[in-house]
Amino acid sequence: MLFYHKFNKINAILLPSIVLLLFWLPLILWLTKTLLGGHVEIPETFPILELLERTFNISIAIAIMSVLAAYPIAIMWRLCSRGLKWGFALTLMIPLAVGFLARNYSWIGMLSGNTFWSSMGWYIFRSERLLYSEISLYLVMTAIFIPIAFFIIIQGIKSVRSEQIYAARILGLADWKILFFVVIPMTLRAAVISLGFIFIMSTGYFVTPRMIGAGKYDFVGNAILIFLNLGRFDSASTISLIFLVSLIVPVSLIAYYTIKRRQQLMGR
Amino acid sequence: MIFTPSSDSAEAGGNNIIINIPILRIIFWLIIASSIILAVIPSLYLFVWAFWGSETVGVLNHTPSMQWFHDMLTNSEWNKSLLYSCTLGFFVSILSTILLIVHFYHMRYVNYQFDRIAYLNIIILVMIPQIIYAISLRFMGGMLAIHETALVIIGHIIYIIPLQFFIFESAQETIPDETLFAGSTLGASHIRNICFNYIPVIKTTIGVAILIGFLFSFDEVVISTFVIDSSNVTVPRRLWDQIHRSMIPYPAVTSSLLIGFLLLCGILVSFKRLIIKSNK
């Protein structure tokens, strides 16, 4: 019995141990070397603050836009019939299945199209002027994150129950009030978590700024990659470290909020 | 009426919220339609591009052809990358699925503090940008002389574990503690309990987790870009490397093949269900 108990504990710490070994070990080794290794190597004229500012500003804007775009779909998903539910979920699963890089290529192809058919309709919005512009960066990254935001929000929206809606109706609340004072507050936590996740994910992106922004609106990730390709690992490391430090506060807040929400939901 | 009423929608609170107010209804449907179009239209374009695509960016041919599929599938370099990505995807996905099955099963038998520790770890995995992890992985690889394929496997496991974790977590309600404890009380070892009690109940979740793990591993680009130095590269890394060289529709072909694979999986599952139903 004692053996059984110990065996359970060993297996229960298997996942954290593997994460410790495969995730924390490289991070700790790298951090130790970068922090204690001696010289910091970034060219004096390198605009690190400007890059960080741009990365954070664009990322927060994209996170907000993705959540705002996905929120109504998630609400409709909750309120529609089972068949439509599947329809919504499958439709938004397709972009995730076709791949991230391919979708970036697809946007370049569409925005380069000079006919209605070859641009999938973007031609009417003067797509050639959109390509490689800041607007296209916002547009493409938002489009990429909409399905992710949707799938996170629907996890929280399941908590909206018919009894609550009926109760609000019986109490005489107008439908728009039910939406804004019942449905949205109940799903706000999921939306905030989705906002946080998307913000963190987009700060680390380098593919879309490179492909769609054509290098004019690079993120911190692009700078890290450029230094790495030039063989200047120390510079790439230093920029990564500054990036990591700048993320500590938002990451801690989002992690705390997510864990708290889980405790409230699951009671542990 | 915008929706068809159903018992499910009635259970969810009826379909009348929002819909009763015309302006709100219009705004909602406009946002929904534009969001879905924005999210889905690039995927549709990929299918068009795969069949009608030309070598010139933004220009489509007048007639569809299988030329790019043929070119890609007969190119030895692309074949190598496809094989590498598929093998890696399945291997990594199955490995992390096994790990998570063991983890979630044993969470039923231990103090909930273990669950908290695991969850905290998973949240941090998601929160640290992949690019920072990739650079540290590359550093560790150089320091400890770890082969790059091993680094790619490690990176992919860490990348897909959180996704699969959330899939497994949402399915834990389907199997009550009592069922597992009954197995243990009747003398089944943990391995037998997992194989004959736990896995059969959550087999759909396992299938979904493997599939999602495979898709995300197949599509992973950050770790591959940072870690791989040799000519043996994954499909996304090959696509990333050709950005400035050509706009041949290979990304579209890859996506079409992936969707084809998913359709095949869907058809096989439906076929199996049909056979089971007819046997009953």
Tell me if residue B176 falls in helix, strand or coil: coil
Q: B65 in a domain, yes or no?
A: no
Whether B12 shows a pLDDT value over 80: the answer reads: no
Residue type, B110: V
Residue B248 · residue A96 · CB < 8 Å: no
Q: B142 in a domain, yes or no?
A: yes
Q: Cα separation of A47 and A226, whole Å?
A: 14
Nearest CA in chain B to A103: B42
Nearest CA in chain A to B135: A237
- Does residue B26 sit in the same domain as residue B126? no
A39 Cα to chain B: minimum distance (Å): 17
Q: B188 in a domain, yes or no?
A: yes
What DSSP character marks residue A175? H
Out of A27-36, B85-94, B171-180, the most confident range is B85-94
- Does residue B123 sit in the same domain as residue B17? no
- Does residue B124 sit in the same domain as residue B251? yes
Contact B6 A82 (CB under 8 A): yes
Which chain B residues are Cβ-neighbours of A2 within 8 angstroms? none
- Does residue B84 sit in the same domain as residue B150? yes
Q: Best interface-test mutation with B: which of A17, A19, A34 has the largest number of B CBs within 10 A?
A: A19
Q: Counting one residue from A and one from B, how many pairs have CB atoms under 8 Å apart?
A: 305
Contact A97 B49 (CB under 8 A): no
Q: Token pair of A137, please?
A: 């960066």
Q: What is the pLDDT of residue B96?
A: 94
- Does residue B95 sit in the same domain as residue B33? no
Whether B245 shows a pLDDT value over 70: the answer reads: no
Mean of the pLDDT values across residues B97-118?
85
Nearest CA in chain A to B33: A73
- The domain tally of chain B equals 2
Residue A200 · residue B127 · CB < 8 Å: yes
What is the b/e burial string over B98-130, where b = at least 16 CB atoms within 10 angstroms of the residue's CB?
A: ebbbbbbbbbbbeeeebbeebbebbbbbbbbbb
Whether B120 shows a pLDDT value over 90: the answer reads: no
Least CB-CB distance to A29: which of B46, B114, B140?
Answer: B140
Contact A247 B259 (CB under 8 A): no
Q: What is the pLDDT of residue A251?
A: 84
Whether B19 shows a pLDDT value over 60: the answer reads: no
- Does residue B189 sit in the same domain as residue B141? yes
Least CB-CB distance to A240: which of B132, B140, B221?
Answer: B132
What DSSP character marks residue B234? -
Q: Cα separation of A100 and A106, whole Å?
A: 10
Select from B268, B167, B249 the least CA-distant residue to B214.
B167
Arithmetic mean of pLDDT over chain B = 83
Helix intervals (H) in chain B: 7-11, 22-52, 67-73, 76-107, 112-127, 130-144, 148-170, 177-185, 190-193, 199-201, 203-219, 222-227, 235-241, 250-279
Q: How far is CA A25 from the centre of its chain?
A: 25
Contact A101 B239 (CB under 8 A): yes
- Does residue B138 sit in the same domain as residue B37? no
- Does residue B106 sit in the same domain as residue B35? no
Residues contacting residue B50 through CB under 8 Å, at least 6 positions apart: B68, B69, B249, B252, B253, B255, B256
What ipTM did this prediction achieve?
A: 0.81
Q: B64 in a domain, yes or no?
A: no
Contact B130 A111 (CB under 8 A): no
Which pLDDT band, with edges at 50, 70 and 90, does B4 fall under?
Answer: very low
Residues forming a β-bridge with B60: B53
Three-class DSSP labels, B50-70:
HHHECCCCCCECCCCCCHHHH
Q: Cα separation of B124 and B146, whole Å?
A: 24
A205 Cα to chain B: minimum distance (Å): 8
Q: What is the pLDDT of residue A266?
A: 67
Q: What is the pLDDT of residue A6?
A: 62
Beta-carbon count within 10 A of A155 CB:
16
Q: B58 in a domain, yes or no?
A: no
Q: Determine the Cα angle at A190 with ends A188 and A194, to 5°.
A: 115
Which chain A residues are Cβ-neighbours of B188 within 8 angstroms? none
CATH number of A47-266: 1.10.3720.10
Q: Best interface-test mutation with A: which of B28, B46, B228 has the largest number of A CBs within 10 A?
A: B46
Q: What is the pLDDT of residues B29-46, one digit of tens each?
A: 888 899 898 888 888 888
Q: What is the pLDDT along chain A (268 residues), one digit of tens a residue?
A: 445 556 667 777 888 888 888 888 988 888 888 777 766 667 777 788 888 888 999 999 999 999 999 988 888 887 777 788 888 888 888 888 888 888 888 888 888 887 888 788 888 877 778 888 888 889 999 999 999 899 888 877 777 777 787 888 888 887 778 878 888 888 888 888 889 889 988 888 888 888 888 778 888 888 888 888 888 877 888 888 888 888 888 888 888 888 887 777 666 6
User: Which one is predicted more confidently, B280 or B146?
Assistant: B146
Residues forming a β-bridge with B4: none
Q: B67 in a domain, yes or no?
A: no
Query: Among the listed ranges A89-93, B19-23, B88-92, B132-136, which one has the minimum average pLDDT value?
Result: B19-23
Contact A99 B255 (CB under 8 A): yes
Q: What is the pLDDT of residue A62?
A: 94
User: Which one is predicted more confidently, B226 or B153?
Assistant: B153
Contact A259 B59 (CB under 8 A): no
Domain with residue B161: its CATH number is 1.10.3720.10
Nearest CA in chain A to B130: A204
Which chain B residues are Cβ-neighbours of A161 within 8 angstroms? 13
Least CB-CB distance to A78: which of B6, B12, B16?
Answer: B12
- Does residue B44 sit in the same domain as residue B162? no
Contact A211 B243 (CB under 8 A): yes
Whether B6 shows a pLDDT value over 50: the answer reads: no
Q: Cα separation of B272 and A149, whole Å?
A: 33
Which chain A residues are Cβ-neighbours of B4 within 8 angstroms? 81, 84
Backbone phi and psi for residue B60, each to the nearest 5 degrees, phi listed first: -110, 150
Give the domain extent around B19.
Answer: 7-52
A44 Cα to chain B: minimum distance (Å): 22
Q: What is the pLDDT of residue B1?
A: 34
Which chain A residues are Cβ-neighbours of B128 within 8 angstroms? 27, 244, 247, 251
Residue B101 · residue B199 · CB < 8 Å: yes
- Does residue B45 sit in the same domain as residue B80? no
Residue A74 · residue A150 · CB < 8 Å: yes
Q: How far is CA A209 from the centre of its chain?
A: 15
Q: What is the pLDDT of residues B126-158, one digit of tens each?
A: 888 888 898 889 888 888 888 889 999 999 999
Nearest CA in chain B to A207: B240
Mean of the pLDDT values across residues B59-72?
85
